[in-house]
Amino acid sequence: MYAIAIIRYRRPLDEVLKVVDEHRAYLKRLIDQGLVLASGPLDPRYGGAILLRVPDDAAGATLDQIRDGDPFTQKGIAQYELLPWAPVFGKEELDRVFAPKA
């Protein structure tokens, strides 16, 4: 299952920037696990977005773990909105490009 995480900053940008390196290191680990497909800040920079692929049989629990493990969440820097997503158009292309690693 795919999901989109919308991240909204809850602190001023100067406080957010102090935690960005930890947040990005965390996302890099999730990329290595095949969970994060793409991520980045919104423009203007009031938050960010993450495109995820999570196991169908544990989607809710996995999304909760991703949110709860993020330094942004742990330090009260940002709030996640987790949106499970069932793409119709382009799903085959997403599946091809982001096939799970063997």
In percent, the amount of the chain with pLDDT more than 70 equals 97
Average pLDDT, the chain: 94
Mean pLDDT across 55-79: 96
Output the pTM of the full model. Answer: 0.92
User: Is the confidence at residue 102, as pLDDT, over 80?
Assistant: no
Identity of residue 18: K
Residue 14 phi, psi (nearest 5) = -65, -30
CATH number of 1-46+57-86: 3.30.70.1060
- What are the residue ranges spanned by the domains of the chain? 1-46+57-86
Contact 50, 2 (CB under 8 A): no
Give the model's confidence band at 99: pLDDT under 50 very low, under 70 low, under 90 confident, else very high: confident
Q: pLDDT, tens digit, for every residue of 20-48?
A: 999 999 999 999 999 999 999 999 999 99
